[in-house]
Amino acid sequence: MTETDAPTTVRRGPGRPPSTHAQEAIRVAARRLFSAKSYGGVSVREVAAAAGVDPSLVIRHFGSKEALFLQTMTVDESFRGLVEGPLEELGRLILERLLTVRGGAAVSTYAALIGAIDRPEVRSYLEASADRHVVRPLAERLTGPDRHLRARLVATQVNGLLFDLRGRPDAGLAGRPTAEVLQVYARALQALIDDPTA
């Protein structure tokens, strides 16, 4: 076959082909440990031991501890399509998707990311992620004044909720079940989604 087709295989020169075996083991171990503990609470040596590889191999393959963290802890899948649906009930819809979809994976992953918010690259990723999946698509749909600012502040409200839900996988806030929290907080989101002049 020629090198112009076969999109699944990349043109490579001589040499041993890359193996995804250890990489996957590291990724799985890192995802589990980072979710259970936190960025600072997990050492590269610990991830390596859980994956059954040498600590230096982790850095070799992923560049740095922070790069490994960013590659394994992503929220884009949970955020995609978050602000779709009728505007009149979008506040409730957003929260439903965040808290219930995929067993609340967004919550625990976001918790880990917030725990590493010290790191400039983590902060950049979270800002870009919120901008791409929430602020910009929502601002386009809103009507009335201050559309971009209102969309940004909806993201702020979501950040606050995800921040406060840290470490409480299924239980809600202040001892309240998720459904109750969802219903009340949806009103607050809706206050920024609705056109204030209408």
CB 44 → DNA: shortest distance, Å? 4
Q: Which is nearer to a copy of itself, 53 or 116 (CB)?
A: 116
CA distances from 164 to 11, 43, 137, 177 (A): 48, 25, 25, 14
CB 15 → DNA: shortest distance, Å? 2
The backbone region for 142, taken as left when phi is positive above 0, alpha when psi lies in -120 to 50, beta otherwise, is beta
Compute φ and ψ for 28, nearest 5 degrees.
-65, -50
* Residue 28 contact among a copy of itself, DNA, none, beta carbon within 5 to 8 Å by kind: none
State the alpha helices, DSSP H only, in 52-176: 55-62, 65-72, 76-79, 90-100, 105-115, 120-130, 136-141, 147-164
Give the list of residues 6+ apart from residue 108 with CB closer than 8 angstroms, or none.
Answer: 35, 169
Q: Which is nearer to DNA, 48 or 95 (CB)?
A: 48
Q: Which is nearer to a copy of itself, 106 or 161 (CB)?
A: 161
* Residue 16 contact among a copy of itself, DNA, none, beta carbon within 5 to 8 Å by kind: DNA
CB 52 → DNA: shortest distance, Å? 8
* Residue 181 contact among a copy of itself, DNA, none, beta carbon within 5 to 8 Å by kind: a copy of itself
The backbone region for 146, taken as left when phi is positive above 0, alpha when psi lies in -120 to 50, beta otherwise, is left
* Residue 166 contact among DNA, a copy of itself, none, beta carbon within 5 to 8 Å by kind: a copy of itself
Residues binding DNA (CB under 7 A): 12-19, 21-23, 42-46, 53-61, 64-66
Q: Which is nearer to a copy of itself, 32 or 166 (CB)?
A: 166
DSSP string, 89-119: GHHHHHHHHHHHGGGGHHHHHHHHHHHTTTS
Give the count of beta carbons closer than 10 Å to the beta carbon of residue 151: 23
Residues binding a copy of itself (CB under 8 A): 38-41, 114-118, 123, 135, 146, 148-150, 152-153, 155-161, 163-164, 166-167, 173-174, 176, 180-181, 184-185, 187-192, 196
